[in-house]
Structure 1
Amino acid sequence: MKETYNALINTQEFASQIHPQLKLVSKPSTEFVPQVLNRSIASILKAGVTKRDIEEEDPFFVCDLGEVARQHAQWKRLLPRVQPFYAVKCNPDPAEIQLALDAGVDSSRIIYANPCKQASHIKFASSKNVNVMTFDNADELYKIKMVAPESQLVLRILTDDSKSVCRFGVKFGASLSIVPYLLETAKSLNLDVIGISFHVGSGCFDATSFTDAVELARKAFDIGEALGFNFTLLDIGGGFPGNNPEGLQFKDIAALLGPTIDRLFPPHIRVISEPGRYFVSSAFTLAVNIQARRVVSLDAEGNPTDPTHDENPSFMYYINDGMYGSFNCITFDHAVVKMKPLCRSGTFMYEQEHSLKLFESSVWGPTCDSIDLIGRNIFLPEMKIGDWLSCSHMGAYTIAAASTFNGFKKSNVIYTDTN
């Protein structure tokens, strides 16, 4: 069994495998390291859409590893005490436990952070010396005792995730009232619990959610210490925003979170985190090709009708990536995707201002499924078959859950380093 899920990889070691300016811990395998260009995103997009670097009209990502490195440098500068462990599920490119090990990441730098695991997956992780794993219920403790009793366990507590886009509290996390029972159960099973973890939800938009959760974690630490446990680890989870000019900024979270951790936890307590979108969201730009279109009018309810001689028609564009592919983030991550013209009638338009007339449009994916709708009420200049659109900030929860439904392959990734 090679599949194990929700692995967290120490970012310093993992990033060193893909970026030369970060400390190289061990030699990565040749299969892991992709070809990395040293060109601007714009130049790669331009070459791609003019068919000099890729064939036909297939969609493709441009991944800027330099952006990942810049995010890592910012983390170390603003939140130096907290050691980031990349949340692999956000963008496993490549990742999960076996792939991480193949990349040269030491097993001690991996945490199996799914509180509810399949027994065979626990056994596999243990066989690879991935021994740190989370739990939030008594049944999980009995399972771990049976399969991997040498594990080092982290209790995931329930916190308020009401101020996050994606809430996890309905599925994971033990309330503070049940913490004594769970720790007593672990003690009776002679299991080693080494600390507390929490997750405020993915896409958190309130910095105080983090500090409130740290306060709860301190209470859980106190309960553990009263029962005789020697906790040494605090995992503050994820939910940190990516490099986006809109909304809550990481610097605002760090300004509150850092002092709170220092006030409540002495220096000997190791503090880690689980950032995912923080690292990869802004690193990926997606280019898609318009493979078909319909010129229509809209009725009073906004539904398309047959075309008329209306001077302001609406357009239905059909592109070659969709909801079953990279745009699954719209459904699963509540993402708001912004599309811009990339190449129109042979003119490259990436990050260029224009005064072209805009038309109300809808954009559809390539499958034969009617729910493959990326968005309505998208205003674009008139585009034609063969033109290209671009979407920025497409690194988080996009290709991670993409499928090949209806025979359409996943979008290719081209790597560059702009540092």
Structure 2
Amino acid sequence: MKKIQRIAPEMKVLWRISVDEQKKEENIISFADKFGDAMNSHQEIEQKFQALYDQGYRIHGIHFHAGSGHDGTSNFQDYLRTARKCMFTAKQIGHPMEILDVGGGFAGNQIGNNIAESLKYTKNDSLKCKFIAEPGRFITSRPFAMCVRVIGKRQISKNHVALYINDGIYHAFNKVSTDGVSLNGKRLFFNDQDSAATETEIDQPNKLPEVQATIYGHTCDGLDIVAKNVTLPSHIEIGDWMCFGGMGAYTHSLISQFNNMESCTKIYVLDQANASSSNSLSSQEVSCNESEKNGSSFDLDGLEQNEQIMDYGELASEYVQVPPLYDHGITV
């Protein structure tokens, strides 16, 4: 605060509070310990803002962040109430309190009712404050899908195979190791062509023959495992493509060059109107992507085997759909 007052005294400052995350949701990256004031009681709030006012500081708003990857379904309203309590108290002391920043980290696949309810405060709000948010993850997650290729296959037992893909946890799938994101034990495809299929649709019986699989990344590390004991079409083969949706946030930006392996060497931008949705896995007698060669927006099989692609649009509509993982969905 002293630096800001000395260098840019005209700057409007928001005071960041640390929200209670005792009921925090699974797979959320918490910021509570690293950033912000705890503000555990009304007395503490009053003393803090009174001290700031007496030192000549004027706080123009409150900021909180519910954690990266949250959907607002648990205790977002509690965070909002704490923030507004701070604003009311600080305004009575003399701070302007013009802005409430509800942070970011919103999951790309949904936003819970608690966040929608919080927006009602923007109408007829007695504080007359401006509400702002930082929905970077929400905006960028869903538009991008990442297509990786099966570069190896090994039969483990009669009903279990090992598949090796040209990406992994040191690259775009880093969330598996850093955030606890997991596909383990899940059925990774369904027949419905609608990428927004519900859990009920996902659980419907599928006519395709199935196999249990473990999906490995392409590095030498034995821990480079994308998913264990997942269910896939039994006729998936080397050269087939797996397309993971929701890969626009904190994936490619966090890759390493471990083992001198590159990730996502090409990015294609697709117009939704030009994306084909025909012939999804129409034959059980050929490998998974053979039926997609005709009518495809571009030729996947024309790419080198060590290339991955990021696509924008509805490329995934050409493949059998799979339920979302965190922000991710996968198609095969």
Distance 1:207 1:260 in 2: 17
| Structure 2 unaligned residues grouped into runs of 5+ | 196-204, 274-332
Output one character per residue of 1:216-267: Cα deviation in whole Å (capped at 9) or x when no partner: 112111222233211111101124332x3xxxx436235421224546544x
Aligned with residue 291 of structure 1, among 151, 174, 177: 151
Aligned identity (percent) is 31
Answer yes or no: is 1:362 the counterpart of 2:214: yes
Aligned to 1:379: 231
Answer yes or no: is 1:164 the counterpart of 2:25: yes
Aligned to 1:250: 111
CA contact (8 A) 1:282 1:395 kept: yes
Distance 1:265 1:413 in 2: 47
CA contact (8 A) 1:200 1:210 kept: yes
Per the alignment, in what secondary structure is the counterpart of residue 327 of structure 1?
coil
Answer yes or no: is 1:415 the counterpart of 2:269: yes
TM-fit CA distance, 1:295:
1.5
The equivalences for 1:188-227 within 5 A come to 190-207=56-73, 209-227=75-93
CA contact (8 A) 1:340 1:389 kept: no
Give the partner amino acid of 1:334: G
Q: In the superposition, relative to structure 1, how do residues 188 and 413 fare at CA in structure 2: closer, same or farther (>3 Å)?
A: farther
Q: In the superposition, relative to structure 1, how do residues 373 and 288 fare at CA in structure 2: closer, same or farther (>3 Å)?
A: same
Aligned to 1:228: 94
Output one character per residue of 1:335-377: Cα deviation in whole Å (capped at 9) or x when no partner: 34578579xxxxxx997x9633211111111111112111111
Output one character per residue of 1:94-128: Cα deviation in whole Å (capped at 9) or x when no partner: xxxxxxxxxxxxxxxxxxxxxxxxxxxxxxxxxxx
CA contact (8 A) 1:203 1:241 kept: yes
CA contact (8 A) 1:235 1:272 kept: yes
CA contact (8 A) 1:316 1:362 kept: yes
Q: In the superposition, relative to structure 1, how do residues 238 and 392 fare at CA in structure 2: closer, same or farther (>3 Å)?
A: same
Distance 1:288 1:350 in 2: 21
If the length of structure 2 is used for normalisation, what is the TM-score?
0.66
Distance 1:208 1:292 in 2: 41
Per the alignment, in what secondary structure is the counterpart of residue 202 of structure 1?
coil
Per the alignment, in what secondary structure is the counterpart of residue 76 of structure 2?
helix
Aligned to 2:247: 394
| Structure 1 unaligned residues grouped into runs of 5+ | 1-140, 298-311, 343-348
Give the partner amino acid of 1:395: G
Distance 1:364 1:192 in 2: 54
Per the alignment, in what secondary structure is the counterpart of residue 272 of structure 2?
coil
CA contact (8 A) 2:25 2:74 kept: no
Distance 1:296 1:269 in 2: 61
Aligned to 1:120: none
Aligned to 2:120: 259
CA contact (8 A) 2:73 2:112 kept: no
Aligned to 1:280: 140
Distance 1:313 1:279 in 2: 40
Give the partner amino acid of 1:332: T
Aligned to 1:89: none
Select the structure that is richer in helix: 1
Give the partner amino acid of 2:250: Y
Output one character per residue of 1:159-205: Cα deviation in whole Å (capped at 9) or x when no partner: 23323331221222212245445545544654442110111223335
If the length of structure 1 is used for normalisation, what is the TM-score?
0.53
